[in-house]
Amino acid sequence: MTETLLVLYFAILLGSLLFKSRVIHSQWLFLLRAFFPNWKFFDVVGHVPHLVARSAQSDATGQLVWTDWLLIYPRRTRRWWHLFHNADTNLGLGQQNLVSHFWSDLDELPDGDDARQLVTYTLMERLVQAQLQVHHGTYSHWQFELRMVLNDSKGVCDTYTMVQSLVCAC
């Protein structure tokens, strides 16, 4: 029974790879996509999505004082015991998958449509708020950007902002 289900899973996976259309328009499959990684990064070598955010506090004059841009999920440090229990890295991979889905949704969004209508945009807002709370504690305003970064052997050689959120008050 288990072997049959495993073969069926890989047959469906292979069928989805051979399917001519790259976008499957189904509400039920859209809701289930969180269980599957976004393999779109194999399409082209080039710019990679990076999620950055910043927070602000009001000073004595009422002006907003912004922090530096914070990369939301830098690489996790690996340890030998992660072979047995690796919840933090698994969470980081889930967050990277979410950012990849957000980039994919933005890429498929028709010109002129508002990105704030996307479910992944709302999930990005929640991820950013949680991460800023961990790194900066209390803050009154926040903002995030999805940047597309191109690296080479010497470091970052090109970057552009794909979307920048509005400044949001807490």
At 125 the pLDDT is 94
Residue 19 vs residue 9, higher pLDDT: 9
* Band of residue 51 on the pLDDT scale cut at 50, 70, 90: very high
Question: How far is residue 136's CA from residue 122's CA, in Å, rounded to a whole number?
Answer: 21
Give the predicted TM-score (pTM) of the model: 0.69
Tokens (6 digits) for 29: 């499959």
The rounded percent of the chain whose pLDDT value lies above 70 is 83
Tokens (6 digits) for 9: 């899973």
At 31 the pLDDT is 62
The rounded radius of gyration (Å) of the Cα atoms in the chain is 19
* Band of residue 94 on the pLDDT scale cut at 50, 70, 90: confident
Three-state SS for the chain is: CHHHHHHHHHHHHHHHHHCCCCCCCCHHHHHHHHHCCCHHHHCCCCCEEEEEEEEEEECCCCCEEECCCEECCCCCCCCHHHHCCCHHHHHHHHHHHHHHHHHHHHHHCCCCCCHHHCHHHHHHHHHHHHHHHHHHCCCCEEEEEEEEEEEECCEEEEEEEEEECCCEEC
At 18 the pLDDT is 73
**Tokens 């841009």, residue?**
69
At 129 the pLDDT is 92
Question: How far is residue 170's CA from residue 67's CA, in Å, rounded to a whole number?
Answer: 16
